[in-house]
Amino acid sequence: MKLKIIDLFAGAGGFTLGFRQVKNTSGKPVFDTVWANDFNKDAAETYNANFGEHCVYGDIVDILNNPRVRIPRADVVVGGPPCQGFSLLNRNRELDPRKALWLPFMDIVQRSQASVFVMENVPELLTSDEFLEIEKVANSRGFTIRAAKLIAANYGVPQLRTRAFIMGSRLADPENVFPPLRTHRDPRNTKKTDDSLYKQNARPWRTVRDAIADLPFPEGTDIRGENGAEALHFGRNPTQLSIDRYHAIPEEGMNRFDLQRVAPELTPDCWINKKSGGTDLFGRLWWDRPSVTIRTEFFKPEKGRYLHPQQHRPITHREAARFQEFPDDFIFKGSKVEVARQIGNAVAVGMARQIANIVYEHFKRYRQQLKKNRINANTEQLNGKKISVSV
């Protein structure tokens, strides 16, 4: 059973990579991408360099409004519409038009006649009015949906990344597979947990040490080559003041509050006066815990807990990519800033792989219904039936 997927708002392709890592009992890949899209040119080039020339660069609304565009048939549509519209960091989110980009997502689900879709976004989506609208539209098109907030560390990713996932299916209610059973546990949690949420023999969370301890000290300040561990393992040129601040908080877990305590003369006034909001800044990671959420400016320690646990420096692009579970041979295109944006915006590869596993299981359980859906779609195509959409 070969399943075709479309990846929207694809970025570097974290979703696609996770799906492509799923194999059947014969060791052959289950999922094959037939179309993808992203509005960022560098991200589209990254995607195509790794997965083949089928990521279309451009505005998804313009693409759908072009009568010459033909969206190919697919079994699954995946993607993460830009999440800034829902983010708590966006004070103008009530007026943010990017919140509505789930509409073209659903229209491509319709045009491709997919049987399943998976949408990823920030957790705030699930308590928004937009979620109710997504559910309403999905139900009207024959989909039953399930949604949950999932922590990547619970699925083997060395990162405490929490994201909302929505799975919709026209085959059956996906509740028998979604959310996926957790494969990893927090070893520090001594409270009794619901074992039904976990797979048998769930392992401890993967840590910063597991992900990056083998890397040498970074060299240079620029990207070196297209792939390999060294390509993205470069440093920065910090000021002497920044270096002094790094040395003032040498222990893992320390952050700007420790800097203020031990070296107030090195602490900016804006940090001293800041009592709320983003307060976990200029912090060191812990060796034996997962990383914090990797965002697009992870190379700036003043933006979060992005200092190396031991060395006096921010984490590198390679280390951030490993926290997202991109392999060292993955090719990134674009400038240092653009590559960082691609890494921070990506769906964590290991999380995508776990989602892909349950999607595959869902298709196996309802194989006969999938065949009927494909036959109906082919019949409609042969009869020239036009799929009505609205963007």
pLDDT at res. 355: 98
Q: Which residue has the higher pLDDT, 227 or 3?
A: 3
Measured between alpha carbons, how far apart are the two ends of the chain, in Å? Answer: 32
Sequence spans of domains, the chain: 3-206+347-382, 212-345
Helix ranges, 249-316 (H): 256-262, 269-273
CATH class of 3-206+347-382: alpha beta
Is pLDDT at 19 greater than 70 in this prediction? yes
Rounded Cα distance, 238 and 242, in Å: 6
Do residues 132 and 327 make contact, with C-beta atoms less than 8 angstroms apart?
Answer: no
Cα angle, residue 121 at apex, residues 53 and 363 outer, rounded to 5°: 65
Q: Which residue has the higher pLDDT, 88 or 55?
A: 55
Query: Phi and psi (nearest 5°) for 325?
Result: 65, 30
Rounded Cα distance, 285 and 306, in Å: 7
Q: Return the residue matching tokens 């910090």.
A: 238
Segment 223-251 shows an average pLDDT of: 94
Radius of gyration of the chain (CA): 22
pLDDT at res. 390: 40
Confidence of residue 387 (pLDDT cuts 50, 70, 90): very low
Is pLDDT at 153 greater than 80 in this prediction? yes
Rounded Cα distance, 178 and 250, in Å: 42
Nearest alpha carbon to residue 259 among 270, 269, 246: 246
Segment 240-256 shows an average pLDDT of: 97
**Structure confidence by residue, pLDDT tens digits, 328-370:** 999 999 999 999 999 999 999 999 999 999 999 999 999 887 7
- The burial of 359, by beta-carbon neighbours within 10 Å (0-12 exposed, 13-18 middle, 19 or more buried), is given as buried
Segment 147-171 shows an average pLDDT of: 98
pLDDT at res. 359: 98
pLDDT at res. 96: 59
Q: 212-345 architecture in CATH?
A: Alpha-Beta Complex (3.90)
Confidence of residue 389 (pLDDT cuts 50, 70, 90): very low
**Structure confidence by residue, pLDDT tens digits, 116-131:** 999 999 999 999 888 9
Catalytic residue (choose from 6, 74, 83, 166): 83
Which string of DSSP letters, residue by residue, matches 330-371?
Answer: ----S-HHHHHHHHHHSPPHHHHHHHHHHHHHHHHHTHHHHH
Q: Return the residue matching tokens 């999440």.
A: 83
Segment 76-104 shows an average pLDDT of: 71
Segment 72-76 shows an average pLDDT of: 97
Same topology, domains 3-206+347-382 and 212-345? Answer is no
Do residues 146 and 160 make contact, with C-beta atoms less than 8 angstroms apart?
Answer: no
Does the reported pTM lie above 0.95?
no
Q: Is 270 a catalytic residue?
A: no
Of the listed ranges 99-108, 134-143, 250-259, the least confidently predicted one is 99-108
